[in-house]
Structure 1
Amino acid sequence: NLYQQFLAEVSAADIAAPNLLSTLRDGKANGAMFLRTDTHWTPEGADLVAQQLSRTLKRGISLDGEPQRFITQASAAKPYKGDLTRFLPLDPWFDYLLPAPDQLRRRETQAVEQSTGDDALFADSAMPVALVGTSYSANPAWNFAGALRQHLQRDLSNHAEDGQGPLIPMLKYLQSEDFKSTPPPLVIWEFPERYLPMTSDLSAFDAQWLSTLKHPIGNRHLAVSNRR
């Protein structure tokens, strides 16, 4: 119910928020969307979300810049001990009691060079998309930022951070020189549902400035990536 309530509230605030819960549920028919020993999604789950988010965005807005090609390559599967195993203090003496590690096939996305010669020197270097969020976006093991680049066909700047939740990285980004000097046309905010009932320590930010954020200015939209 909390997830559906959040979707309704952000929609009422004129923020694009596709229902990605149903996307991930449907995706389970083709493979694991989340790791068994970890709180995070698999690269397959991150890619599926990036596909759905890109389709939703392209139906609603025109992205700046020319489409850019990206390719993604997957490495061989390797054992991966997820963060949930830290709740079981058995390693190294009793590691045989731990659940078997996940088999993680990391992915890496690279741009395909399309501009050569003098034209490349004068190409627009401003990022048309900014990604802000948590370890779901920051950790390269899931390649969410790379999947977004490939499916949006646009480069992006990644301002997500590990271990900070979704709110603090966004507030830091709003105060950054990158945002002040070259605000992107599109900001994607990856916001895990589990953080909704949690409180954040915002004492590092000016209280008066925080109060101004409660009032929308202009017609700036955020595209919010929501997950269970």
Structure 2
Amino acid sequence: MVASKYDNVGGRWASRLASVALSCVLSVLPAVASAQEPEADITAPVYVAKDCCTLCPKASDPDSYATTFLKDYLYLVQGEGQWLFRTEAELNITAQKDELVWDDLERMVKDLNARGTQILVYLSAPRAVVQVQRLTPEVRARFDYDGLLKNYQGYLEHLRKVGFIVPPADRFASVKKGEDFHFQRDAHWNPSGAKRAAELIAEYIKPLNFNFPPKTFVTKESSVITRRGTIAFAADVICGSRYPTESSIFYETTAPATDDLFGDEPVPEIALVGTSFSGSAEYHFMGFLRAALQTDMLQNSFAGAGFDGSITQYLASPAFQKAPPKLIVWEFPYQFFGRADHATMRRIVPLVNNGCVNRKALISNEVELTNDGDYKEILFNGGSNFITEKSKNLIVDMQFSDPNVREISSEIWYLDGRHELIRSRYNQFTNMEGRFVMELNRAPEYADQPVVDYRLQVLTTLGKPVKVKATMCSALEPGNAVVKSGAPAP
């Protein structure tokens, strides 16, 4: 047989392939042998979770809090772990320096009682009082914690003295030691705090025999939600950090269906007014209170209400004026009470009886106003029909044609030559649809003086002139206010 020239080439390739195959087998054998040997001990890696963020030195610099938002967070301090606190709102003592406020609150309570409505104030405790165990020793040493607690308790007692129903909210910090009732980096209470507050209220008022219409409510856990705290956000803005979100349980409170398909639904006899603490579904305060009392209630709280927004809006509403409830639950945080002043109360108190609605007008007028920076006369008391009614009994009720008017300044002249300037403002969250109601001055030096001239300046920036219809009436005029029957005697 004759050999081909390709046979020799093929032989060489076959030889090379065999050599490569043998090398592969030899390289694998040690690995196979080692696999059959006992395994050596392997130490698992250890991971340590470290705090992501700490406050920077800028947090103690007043210039870091230049915006309106950040002014509510003066000054951030580090608590235990990643807890953050605000010194002005949560650690410093808030003083109520305007003594007239207490007289105003007492008149407000009496006027509500005359309409068959009692009012409960839930003044939520300073966050540092409730979460004192989360303060570092250094922070606690810098602030008068005992004085803060004493001041808060003094407010509760004074509110009781002027006629409010006031649950012992100072017991908040003395139960369930170690349980947190607030978020670590947020100004609000968490659902546990909201539930505890609802339980305190229910325990306190059940013996008062309000006899609210019964309704079954059941609360259950629904889901887990996360939030970025408001204090964390402020710290992030100042320090450029990124604090983690916090999680909490989201609750639902429902009334089980009944077989009484044609039964009349009872009208709720409780009205809830307040801030985001009581208005947010995330904290679930109203749901917990419904379940604790087993009765329904009307929700009138909203975020941004501050001390006065929600109560102002509710008292002026048809819901209150046509059907005053047996009980108003008014919630606001401790730090807001220091912002209450006589000027604010002069707006709130006359709303209980709806200002000059259904009262005889002593003087009335309609005037067009502009943003020219000048005061313009809207009511003048003079001539042969001079009104001699004393200032302490007078109310001025103003309705603007533009519902966006939120800030005004009044210049009021009295018969003896005295005059006053008083500024009235609703924040952007309060909707009074352009209505302002004002008591005239009740301070001793003004109280017995008749008013001569009422002048007004619109401070809200407007694109065009606005009309205001102003009425002056006497608070001694009974009017036609609806009175609720069946409430327990105060």
User: TM-score normalised to the size of structure 2?
Assistant: 0.39
* Cα deviation code 1:112-156 (max 9, x no counterpart): 2235232x2x333x2111000001011110000111111111110
Distance 1:85 1:210, change over 3 A: farther
Task: Pick one of 304, 315, 321 that aligns with 1:163.
Answer: 304
Instruction: Give the conservation status (yes or no) of the 8 Å contact 1:33–1:45.
Output: yes
Quote the offset at 1:210 in angstroms. Answer: 9.9
| Cα distance in 1 for residues equivalent to 2:205 and 2:242 | 42
Mapped partners of 1:109, 1:181: distance in 2: 28
Aligned to 1:137: 278
Deviations 1:52-104 (A, max 9, x none): 10011101232322x2111112133333211112213459xx6xx43332111
For residues 104-183 of structure 1, the aligned pairs below 5 Å read 104-118=248-262, 120=263, 122-124=264-266, 126-183=267-324
Distance 1:136 1:164 in 2: 10
Q: 1:132 touches 1:159 (CA, 8 Å); kept in 2? A: yes
> Given residue 105 of structure 1, which amino acid in structure 2 is its aligned partner?
I
Asked if 1:87 corresponds to 2:234, the answer is yes
Name stretches of at least 5 consecutive residues in structure 2 with no aligned partner: 1-149, 348-423, 426-435, 443-474, 476-482
Secondary structure at the counterpart of residue 178 of structure 1:
helix
Residue 191 of structure 1: CA displacement?
2.1
Question: Rg: which structure is higher?
Answer: 2
Distance in structure 1 (CA, Å) of the matches to 2:335 and 2:286: 21
Of all paired residues, the percent bearing the same amino acid is 24
1:15 aligns with 2:164: yes
Q: Distance in 1 between matches of 2:152 and 2:260?
A: 46
CA distance in 2, matches of 1:85, 1:31: 21
Q: Which residue type is aligned with residue 254 of structure 2?
A: Q
1:47 aligned onto 2:195 = yes
Letter in 2 for 1:4: Q
Does residue 208 of structure 1 match 2:357? no
Code of the aligned partner of 2:222: S
| Equivalent residue letter for 1:173 | Y
Q: Is the 8 A contact 2:236 2:243 kept in 1?
A: no
- Give ranges in structure 1 of 5+ residues lacking alignment: 213-217, 224-228
2: CA distance, partners of 1:145 / 1:209: 36
User: Would the aligned equivalents of 1:133 and 1:169 in 2 still touch at CA under 8 Å?
Assistant: yes
- SS for the counterpart of 1:106 is strand
Query: Counterpart amino acid of 2:184?
Result: R
Q: CA RMSD in A?
A: 2.8
Superposition deviation, residue 49 in structure 1? 0.9
- Runs of 4+ in structure 1 deviating by more than 6 angstroms, as ranges, are 209-212, 218-221
Q: Report if aligned partners of 1:138, 1:158 keep a CA contact under 8 Å in 2.
A: yes
